[in-house]
Amino acid sequence: MVSAQELLGILADGKYHSGTDLGHELGVSRAAVWKVIQKIEKELGLTVFAVKGKGYRLQQPLELLDKNKILEKLNEKTAKQLSNIEIFFEIESTNQYLNNKSLDGAPGGLIVIAEQQSKGIGRRGRGWVSPFGCNLYLSLLWRFPYGAAQLGCLSLYIAVAIVRTLHKVGIKDAGVKWPNDIYWKNKKLAGILLEMRGELSGPSAVVMGIGLNINMPSSNTETKNIDQAWIDVQTILGRAVDRNEFTAKVINELFDVLNEIPDAQNKLLEEWKDMDILKGQNIEVTFSNKTIIGEALGINKDGALLLRHNDKDIICHSGDVSIRRDESND
């Protein structure tokens, strides 16, 4: 039986391929090709045009993730620190997979990327909608000699790496909603999920998961499950983005920031402050079923959110933040 992955390897060019040619190339019958085409439409949510006398073609050409293309674009320092990149056609969650690998003793610098996640995990018990072949679902395992106490701002630094990438590809007004949601004009562009294990005083292993919308097709039925305003890189830039090249850029920036942590935590926090989209806005912070409304004042030296509420300054170490509707400009 031929797999969807093998068939997509041929159809990815977006051109017509006859059932007979596909069957020959893959060593199966035309009926078997047809079965896999149905699977591609049903399970991967892709549209395949079938035209008599011409054959099958994908509605849009597809750029599948390619380890060699990503490796080619990594800078020298990153390539040296990378232990491996594993690419999955489909996985439940790259974070969950890497957490298990970490427990089995996998080395730091290991990256896992997937074309699709069936149970993508978001922050605060939410899921992460992860349709096939269009976005970035990436997890990186990093081992630190220190523990959670010294890594309190890590998720903010990772957000800096993602926003740096976006600025470099031309999305100058991408910013961060505390602590680490990546936004563009009040629409979510990327999310970060950090999972840390180890002793409080160190060492520790951190799995950093990044979900970044590159080319999310609004026609994909899965997008109906997203409960907040969202946007993707291609829509903002108004042009196609090379997913492998973009992935390499994200990896380079992640490694750069991780290398800066030992000497430049203050600098990274200052950089985060320049990316802060909440400062000065009227916001709501919800934690343990309680909601406080106030003005966002920025962050303190521990990366906690400062909120002015009834002339009192409140320090929020956790919470779900949203910009008050009447104040937002979307």
In the set 123, 126, 185, 187, the catalytic residue is 123
Identify residue 179 by its one-letter amino acid code. Answer: P
Q: Which is nearer to ligand BTN, 211 or 294 (CB)?
A: 211
Active site annotation includes 80: no
Beta carbon nearer to ligand BTN, 37 or 193: 193
224 classed as catalytic: no
Contact mark string toward ligand BTN, 37..76, x via CB under 6 A: ----------------------------------------
Name the one range near ligand BTN by CB under 6 A: 59-67, 101-109, 209-217, 298-306. 209-217
Burial of 222 (0-12, 13-18, 19+ CB in 10 A): middle
Residue from 78, 94, 102, 265 binding ligand BTN (CB under 6 A): 94
Q: Minimal distance in Å, beta carbon 99 to ligand BTN?
A: 10
CB burial of 190-206 (b: ≥16 within 10 Å; e: otherwise) equals bbbbbbbebeeeeebbb
By CB under 6 A, the count of residues binding ligand BTN is: 20
What whole-number distance in Å separates Cα of residue 108 and Cα of residue 114?
Answer: 19
Query: Which H or E run includes 189?
Result: strand 187-198
In this chain, which of 17, 63, 93, 204 binds ligand BTN, going by CB under 6 A?
Answer: 93
Strands 110-114 and 305-309: unpaired
- Which of 46-54, 69-77, 89-97, 163-171 is the region at the interface with ligand BTN (rule: CB under 6 A)? 89-97
Instruction: Give yes or no: 57 in active site.
Output: no
Give the number of other Cβ atoms within 10 Å of residue 10's Cβ. 15
| Residue 234 interacting with ligand BTN (CB under 6 A) | no
Catalytic residue, from 35, 69, 188, 279: name it: 188
- For position 110 contacting ligand BTN by CB under 6 A, the verdict is no
| Cβ atoms of residues 3 and 11 within 8 Å | no
Angle between helices 265-275 and 154-168 (to 10 degrees): 60
Q: Which is nearer to ligand BTN, 77 or 119 (CB)?
A: 119
CA distance 25 to 32: 12
Measured CA angle at 233 (ends 16, 157), to 5 deg? 135
DSSP-assigned letter for residue 18: -
If one asks whether residue 117 binds ligand BTN (CB under 6 A), the answer comes out as yes
Which one of residues 69, 73, 123, 279 is an interface residue with ligand BTN (CB under 6 A)? Answer: 123
Would you say 37 or 250 has its CB closer to ligand BTN? 250
Q: How far apart are CA 52 and CA 298, in angstroms?
A: 61
User: Which stretches of the chain bind ligand BTN, using CB under 6 A?
Assistant: 93-95, 117, 120-123, 126, 128, 137-139, 181, 191-193, 209-211
Catalytic (active-site) positions? 123, 188, 324
